[in-house]
Structure formats: structure tokens, C-alpha cells
């Protein structure tokens, strides 16, 4: 399999897609216990807007206001068998790391690194070596270890008194939704596909029930759990419904989840980090085993993301006692035509 999300090391067993979850688990912490202390300006987050796992880090970094503390390098939406590449930058070279390929940062840490070259990854700029690609831990550490560099008014995305519930909900979402769409798309047998399909939509039905009477997944504010669900929902109609055969319903046909997703999309940090053009390019061009022609579909019309959601009627405080982030920095803005409706872009 050629996709970062179904990276080398992932495999199909008895027709079922198995994700390689062996990541570089070194952590950047306030006390530096793994040898990498929190330090403003030292680390570079390398991400790709196309990737749902990387998109999480872009959302959390922006919500918490970590732009000054952690610089951002963006890879293009497509890649080859070897690595994500910095083809969006002048000359195809990351201006801070001096690399053409993210693979070079992995090899700087572990020569001949044998696993998938994945985003997101955090790179230690002085050594130009990857510190971690453990995407699930990266966002939690942004919330808990980088507090000294949070902006004034940053929300608490991982409140201590809610962590057990957040972790429980997030695990169910990962198993059946985040990874579930891939288990559908890369299934090697009809039986494995139908099993994954049933689990995916059963979990979406469960989420519908949970969100029918409350605005967010855990408590009355946005948490890490909402970030983790959003990036899959944002890609559902654009990619997963057709490309991965997750086609019982479109997201836009599921009233509760559709309104919930739009509510987040309209929230600063979510929609403005979503690049529908790059998302479609990535999946339809890179997954040649599923789409050998590499034709990127013209549809669907995604302007419906801007329809009113009315979820504010449920109450809730998106940022708790905090405030929304300001506008994204000019250098980090998603092109307007990639996420705004035509009349606005």
C-alpha cells in the first residue's frame, strides 16, 4: 500500500486492513525526561493538510496559539513510495530544515528507518532529526506539556477531570471511525469490508445518539475528542463515501452529525485548517491500488459546509472560559478557494 495512512508496515491479513501503529514514541515534555525539553523555537511540526492525522495537529496548534513556539513545515498533498516531499516550498526544499524529503529527517534520527515515513512528525531543528511521529500523543502533549507557551485564552482541550472519558470516546472513534474508513477502503475481502462497514455506521449511529442532545462529545466545550472525530467527518463526503465505499449515507444525510461537523467547521481553527482540494488530490492520486487512473473527481459540491447548523441552541461554550484564536497567519492560510464557498473566495 502506498498511502501514508496505510503506510509500509500496514498490511492485509485474512482480507482485513491492519494499521502499523509502531511509532517513534519519544516525547517532548516540560521536564525533558526523554532528552527533548519544551523549548520555544527549537522544534518544527511537519504536516500535510491532506492527512487527517496531521490535520489534528494543525487544529490543536492553532487553538492553543503555539505558532510562535513551534514552526510549521507543510508537505504537498501527494507523495511517492519513499516519502512525503516539500514540493510546496520554493525549489521543493523546506526553508528551515533544508530537506527535500521528510525521509531525510527520519534517517537523521534512525539511519535506514524501516517503517512508514508519516506525517505529522516533529523535528528537532538543531539536529534536523525527527523526535516523534506519534500523532495521538503529539496533540495531547501540545495541551499538557506546552502550557507555558499557550496563548492567553487558550482552551483546555484535555481537562484533567474529563480525561478518562475523553480517552474512552477517542478510542472508540479511532477503532471504528478514524481507522474504520480505512478498514473499509483497503479491505481485501467482501467479508472484511462488510464487517468494517457495519462497525463504522454502527459507531456513527452511536455518535448520533450521543450528540443529539449535547453540543460536543465530552462536556459542554470542545475537547481532544472533537478534534479527532472532526478530521474524519471533514473528509467523509469528499473522499470516504465514494473512494472507500463508505456509502450507506453521506455525512450530509445524517442530520445530527452533519450539523455537529458544520458547527466545528465554522469554529476558528477547524474549517480554516481544512483544504478540500489537497484532501481530494491526496486520496485519489496516491491510492493507485484503488484508483489506478489517478483521476480526481470534480464533485461533490462542498459549499453546503457553510449552511447554518443551529447547534448553538444546545448551549455549550466552544472554548470554555477561553477565547477563539485570531485569524490564521498569512503564510499558513489555506487558499480561500480550497475551503470557502465560491461567493466568499
Domains observed in the chain? 11-149 (3.40.30.10), 161-338 (1.20.1050.10)
pLDDT at 78: 95
Residue 51 known to be catalytic: yes
SS3 label, residue 302: coil
pLDDT at 17: 77
Catalytic residue among 51, 75, 184, 246: 51
Residue 113 known to be catalytic: no
pLDDT at 1: 37
SS3 label, residue 287: coil
Rounded-to-integer distance, Cα 6 and Cα 15, Å: 14
Q: What is the pLDDT along the chain (345 residues), one digit of tens a residue?
A: 334 444 444 656 667 777 777 899 999 999 999 999 999 999 999 999 999 999 999 999 999 999 999 999 999 999 988 899 999 999 999 999 999 999 999 999 999 999 999 999 999 999 999 999 999 999 999 999 999 999 999 999 999 999 999 999 999 999 999 999 999 999 999 999 999 999 999 999 999 999 999 999 999 999 999 999 999 999 999 999 999 999 999 999 999 999 999 999 999 999 999 999 999 999 999 999 999 999 999 999 999 999 999 999 999 999 999 999 999 999 999 999 999 987 665
Give the alpha-carbon dihedral of 140, 148, 59, 233, to 10 degrees.
30
Widest CA span in the chain: 54
Catalytic residue among 158, 182, 260, 283: 182
Rounded-to-integer distance, Cα 114 and Cα 109, Å: 12
- 177: which 3 cell numbers? 471511525
Rg of the chain over CA atoms, in angstroms? Answer: 19
305 is in an annotated binding site: no
Rounded-to-integer distance, Cα 117 and Cα 48, Å: 12
pTM of the model: 0.95
Tally DSSP H helices, then E strands, for the chain.
10, 6
Q: Please tell me the number of Cα atoms within 13 Å of 67 on its side-chain side.
A: 16
CB-based contacts of 11-15 (< 8 A; 24+ apart in sequence): 12/186, 12/187, 12/188, 12/192, 14/188, 14/189, 14/192, 15/187, 15/188, 15/189, 15/190, 15/191, 15/192, 15/193
Which among 7, 183, 21 has a CA at the least distance from the CA of 81? 7
Contact 197, 25 (CB under 8 A): no
Amino acid at each position: 500500500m502506498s498511502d501514508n495512512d496505510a503506510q509500509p508496515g500496514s498490511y492485509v491479513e485474512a482480507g482485513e486492513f491492519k494499521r502499523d501503529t509502531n511509532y517513534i514514541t519519544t516525547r517532548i515534555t516540560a521536564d525533558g525526561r526523554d532528552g527533548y525539553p519544551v523549548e520555544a523555537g527549537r522544534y518544527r511540526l511537519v504536516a500535510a493538510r491532506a492527512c487527517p492525522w496531521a490535520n489534528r495537529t494543525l487544529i490543536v496548534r492553532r487553538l492553543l496559539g503555539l505558532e510562535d513556539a513551534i514552526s510549521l513545515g507543510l508537505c504537498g498533498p501527494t507523495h511517492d513510495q519513499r516519502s512525503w516531499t516539500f514540493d510546496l516550498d520554493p525549489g521543493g526544499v523546506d526553508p528551515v530544515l533544508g530537506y527535500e524529503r521528510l525521509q531525510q529527517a527520519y534517517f537523521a534520527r534512525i539511519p535506514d528507518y524501516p517503517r512508514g515515513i508519516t506525517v505529522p512528525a516533529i523535528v528537532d531543528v538543531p539536529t534536523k532529526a525527527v523526535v516523534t511521529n506519534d500523532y495521538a500523543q503529539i496533540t495531547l502533549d501540545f495541551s499538557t506539556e506546552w502550557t507555558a507557551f499557550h496563548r492567553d485564552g487558550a482552551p483546555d482541550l484535555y481537562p484533567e477531570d474529563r480525561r478518562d472519558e475523553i480517552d474512552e470516546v477517542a478510542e472508540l472513534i479511532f477503532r471504528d471511525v478514524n481507522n474504520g474508513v480505512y478498514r473499509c477502503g483497503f479491505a481485501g475481502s467482501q467479508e472484511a469490508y462488510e464487517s468494517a462497514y457495519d462497525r463504522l455506521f454502527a459507531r456513527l449511529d452511536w455518535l448520533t445518539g450521543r450528540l443529539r442532545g449535547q453540543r460536543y462529545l465530552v462536556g459542554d466545550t470542545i475537547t481532544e475528542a472533537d478534534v479527532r472525530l472532526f478530521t474524519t467527518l471533514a473528509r467523509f463526503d469528499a473522499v470516504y463515501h465514494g473512494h472507500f465505499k463508505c456509502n450507506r449515507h453521506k455525512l450530509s444525510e445524517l442530520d445530527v452529525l452533519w450539523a455537529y461537523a458544520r458547527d466545528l467547521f465554522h469554529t476558528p481553527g477547524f474549517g480554516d485548517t481544512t483544504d478540500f482540494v489537497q484532501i481530494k488530490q491526496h486520496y485519489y492520486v496516491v491510492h493507485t491500488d484503488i484508483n489506478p487512473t489517478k483521476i480526481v473527481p470534480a464533485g461533490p459540491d462542498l459549499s453546503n459546509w457553510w449552511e447554518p447548523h443551529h447547534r448553538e441552541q444546545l448551549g455549550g461554550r466552544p472554548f470554555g472560559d477561553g477565547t477563539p484564536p485570531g485569524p490564521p497567519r498569512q503564510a499558513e492560510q489555506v487558499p480561500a478557494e480550497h475551503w470557502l464557498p465560491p461567493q466568499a473566495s
